[in-house]
A and B are shown apart, each in its own frame.
Chain A
């Protein structure tokens, strides 16, 4: 396999060996691991196409991978298959300021897109926590969110066009710098396709003008209920904040242990509020004043308003480093991902604490309160016998409750392999047939990132048997 692939790209672009297989056996979803045969790093769309065609002609399954920060196993390869890494496809190919868009290879880190146009007062709006490393391709595959989706939308709303190698090895171009006109929104279908509808190598992304003014505040509450009530009232007042993030006592504790960060005495929850405007700055200040009042009405201990950009970054530290800080509390963490209608947040939060207690697990919660997108973070030591099962069970109970309350089993992380079993619970057989029909528009084969997203795909049992040993 390695020799064959080294004939179509340079030898150093094909990685193999025990260490490589171990590293690429999983992404940031640690529960399942499946070592690949090898990893290939094409540098262009043409090379990527040659790799896919090689895989097709040798019947080897292939899985695209960006930074591997995905949390549902989307980049986990088939046993003995090929990982097609985009990490050498990181160039920006064209910046079109007139039309406020740019064309980039999909291996580029999300943050670098914004960096490239910041001097022009523009940025790429989707900002997942992983943005300093997660790639555009990964963001496209998972339709990534982030704190600012509340106002600016998810990744799909910022992708105008893309180039991909379809599961039959053909080069497909969808949309373009101008976005959509009459026709079918194929771009909208491929975004969020979790790398199963093809390998996206390039994309036209929409650039968003930077707001003219931003107001960021961090409010400390003695209990999380005060924070969630404030969120409900802020939204009800008719404001559309740029971000509304809540961190509970568990996260605060982790931040204090990991980074020595200190919060007001008696804080059990933090609410990060960001408002911005592209126009009326005085209206912005009035809105922030009313947010301040609402928080205090709900028992906030203190509200700190950032006076400048440096202080704003400081206030965001709690949110951005929250999950990373969890690593200091215990050797293993699993971050779950569920969504419910915003009004059900307090109820689900209570349930999360109850489930954690019942399973004897530590939990910390960080969530996009404005969107009802919850991230319960369980911390444990995976070497402890039986604990992993309890973490998985706890996650299942929480997602079950999300479904009961009219939500979804995933707001951001995707289905991948992690939530295959939940698809039957969220969707009927007819609903899944509809999705399978959509997949068939692009993919009727079994080699492009197989056995993900849709459960009970006919070939998957065969896959597990056939690929149990070696690729060939």
Chain B
């Protein structure tokens, strides 16, 4: 199956080259986890479509602006899918707030099938990137196993567009027949979190999970016991998630990493984006 339509990256390249500050945008499904947009908006939505689907190899190459809905329905025709819970059944929160493929990879949020099926870092086999100087580069391959060189694709997953703009992704896909049941408890459809107030996803280790569950009570909208992840909504008190080892929240906070890792993040950002052009305020900078 070849590309849905030919789309040029020229407008994207030009915008990145000419602007000093760029906010990379998909469908806005996760924008509440990101700082307010500033500078030029790099709208990835038009750069969409499946480039190549190999059902026998269970690999798909897809443009970053493609919506998850579109991708999943195309894959379904071949009995394939990306292993994410169905948002109709569980709400879009435990489905990972589906928007575009690029946004899914860039944010890499927890989801309800994670303990059984992994996450974007396990599904991304390769990426094609637009760098802030306007050049493009590829990493990874179409093979499901590949150890040639440094795994830059893995570094890009969850990097929130700060190290490069994802143009295309090569993804491993899975047979629908083999999908396990999603075991999350609860249902949450975070339609417009700005209306509803404080929201967060928090992940705990064994000990702090049960304590936090008690403290958070009614604010827990969805829970996944396998990964000890809670999807929270409402004006819960910040100290209740103090024990979490990882938090994704609408407050613009820096990630809970050591000072050393924070310094490495800054170093990486300056290497990949020396003029601090791409999503400069991401990660609470």
Contact = CB atoms under 8 A, between A and B. Distances in A.
B192 interface: no
Contact of B149 (A157, A237, A435): A435
A183 interface: yes
Interface residues of A, number: 76
Nearest to A193: B150
Contacts, number: 210
Given A183-B283, A430-B135, A412 B145 contact: yes
B174 A181 contact: no
Contact of A410 (B79, B148, B178): B148
A235 B79 CA distance: 12
B149 A407 contact: no
Contacts of A454: 149
B57 A343 contact: yes
Nearest to B119: A180
Interface in A84-99: 98-99
B285 interface: no
A149 interface: yes
Given A182-B255, A339-B145, A440 B135 contact: no
A189 B151 contact: yes
B70 interface: no
B175 A238 contact: yes
A340 B143 CA distance: 6
Nearest to B253: A182
Contact of A182 (B54, B135, B180, B246): B246
A430 B137 CA distance: 5
A453 interface: yes
Given A185-B157, A406-B141, A430-B136, A411 B268 contact: no
Interface stretch (A21-29, A51-59, A106-114, A171-179): A171-179
Contacts of A407: 141-143, 146
Contact of A415 (B149, B207, B257): B149
Contacts of B246: 178, 180-182
Contact of A181 (B141, B175, B257, B265): B257
B13 interface: no
A153 interface: yes
A342 B56 contact: yes
Nearest to A166: B264
B244 to A, nearest CB: 8
B16 to A, nearest CB: 15
A42 interface: no
B70 to A, nearest CB: 22
Contacts of B261: 173-174, 183-184, 186
B264 A184 contact: yes
Contacts of A434: 129, 131, 137-139, 152, 164
B231 interface: no
Interface string B52-68: 00111111000000000
Given A154-B145, A192-B150, A407-B142, A240 B57 contact: no
Nearest to A442: B264
A182 B248 contact: yes
A406 B142 contact: yes
Contacts of B171: none
A165 to B, nearest CB: 13
Interface of B: 54-59, 79, 118, 121-122, 129, 131, 135-139, 141-152, 154-155, 157-159, 163-164, 174-178, 180, 203, 205-207, 245-248, 255-258, 260-261, 264-265, 267-268, 271-272, 283
Given A181-B257, A341-B54, A372-B143, 9 more contacts: A156-B151, A181-B246, A182-B158, A182-B256, A240-B175, A341-B57, A342-B57, A371-B143, A410-B146
17 contacts: A157-B118, A173-B260, A173-B261, A182-B247, A184-B163, A185-B121, A188-B155, A236-B56, A371-B145, A373-B143, A408-B147, A412-B145, A430-B138, A434-B138, A435-B139, A435-B152, A438-B150
List 7 A-B pairs, minimum CB-CB distance, nearest first: A181-B246, A238-B177, A188-B154, A238-B175, A98-B206, A178-B245, A408-B146
